[in-house]
Amino acid sequence: MTSRADVAARLTGRTVRSERPLSASLTEVTLDDERVVIVKRSGDPGAARAEAAGLRWLAGARSVRVPAVHGHDGNWLVLDRVTAGRPSREAAIAFGRGLAALHGAGAPAFGAPPPDGPADAWIGLAPMRNEPGTDWPRWYAEHRVLPYLRRAVDQGTIRPGEATAVERLCERLPELAGPAEPPARLHGDLWNGNVLWAADGHVRLIDPAAHGGHRETDLAMLRLFGCPHLEHVLDGYREQAPLADGWAERVGVHQLFPLLVHAVLFGRGYAERALSVARTALAG
């Protein structure tokens, strides 16, 4: 069986001095030049490839920082360790500005995967299909919301009669989506756990589900589970790239996909939140 040390040595070209398990999937490895890297084992080789491609695509925008990728091989991924710091107002504003620049770097289409990234990618533990499209409301309904709604119904997490609220929202997306936006370069899974406040005062983003999408989706994800200094993040963002009128009222629409993903993975509580979001958007 391949050891974490062997993976780190092969993908960095350095000798390993020590290793320390952090979890079942993560190991911290110290190299002979004192650098520290993280060796991550994914359950699927496609997930490691998608994460590596996503991180490199985000890094290519030269905006928000991400850990450097040393390489991936099968189920394995090796990247720089991020030394933890504390959230601050200054870092939040800079993060907001950088996130706006990241989105502004663009993507070839809604649903476009990163270069060298697989079409069959992942969001956390869930599969996510990157199928390009030109019209965001239709693409979001067909390739994000409805596939997970069907899975939630099939497994009994959402009852068929309840699903009609989400289906009606999808039908009305052209009028609920706000002004048309060009495809943005998204992190794609931008909840608080994937935002690392580093010791050097800069935010690092990890674990992307990167693709071309609507920029308000990343912002809605930041709000979904809370983020330190979120209002300062938004201040920095809007300073760099003002948001379209009514964006705050559209947050629920953009949260619907991750809520349905969580409903499929974690059960009824998230299903109820997704249904509440759909009903609120329809009533508004």
pLDDT of residue 44: 85
Cα separation, 274 vs 56, in Å, equals 32
Q: Is residue 67 part of a domain?
A: no
Q: Which domain holds residue 166?
A: 83-284
Q: Is residue 265 part of a domain?
A: yes
Q: Is residue 58 part of a domain?
A: no
Q: Is residue 2 part of a domain?
A: no
Q: Is residue 111 part of a domain?
A: yes
How far CA 259 is from CA of 137, 146, 183, 280, in Å, comes to 17, 12, 22, 14
How many domains, the chain?
Answer: 1
How far CA 89 is from CA of 223, 229, 236, 237, 277, in Å, comes to 17, 6, 10, 13, 30
Residue 236 structure tokens:
């920095």
Q: Is the CB of residue 14 less than 8 Å from the CB of residue 85?
A: no
pLDDT of residue 18: 94
- Phi/psi region, residue 166 (left: phi>0; alpha: psi -120 to 50; beta: rest), is alpha
Does pLDDT of 98 surpass 70? yes
How far CA 108 is from CA of 132, 140, 174, 184, 270, in Å, comes to 8, 16, 21, 9, 32
What is the crossing angle of helices 251-266 and 268-283, to 10°?
160
pLDDT of residue 284: 79
Sorting pLDDT into bands at 50, 70 and 90, what band is 1? low
pLDDT of residue 229: 97
Catalytic residue chosen out of the listed positions 6, 44, 120, 189: 189
pTM summary value: 0.95
Cα separation, 143 vs 134, in Å, equals 12
Q: Is the CB of residue 88 less than 8 Å from the CB of residue 229?
A: yes
207 is catalytic: no
Q: Is residue 54 part of a domain?
A: no
Arithmetic mean of pLDDT over the chain: 96
Q: What mean pLDDT is predicted for residues 235-258?
A: 97
SS3 content of the chain, % helix, strand, coil (to 5): 50, 20, 35
Q: Is residue 243 part of a domain?
A: yes
pLDDT tens digits, 27-75: 999 999 999 999 999 988 889 999 999 999 999 999 999 999 999 998 9
Cα separation, 134 vs 249, in Å, equals 23
Residue 128 structure tokens:
């996510």
* Number of Cβ within a 10 Å radius of residue 124: 16
Q: Is residue 9 part of a domain?
A: no
Cα separation, 41 vs 76, in Å, equals 5
pLDDT of residue 43: 85
Name the residue with higher pLDDT: 45 or 100. Answer: 100
Cα separation, 243 vs 215, in Å, equals 9
Instruction: Write the CATH number for 170.
Output: 3.90.1200.10
The percentage of residues in the chain with a pLDDT greater than 90, rounded to a whole number, is 95
Residue 61 structure tokens:
């925008």
Q: Is the CB of residue 184 less than 8 Å from the CB of residue 159?
A: no
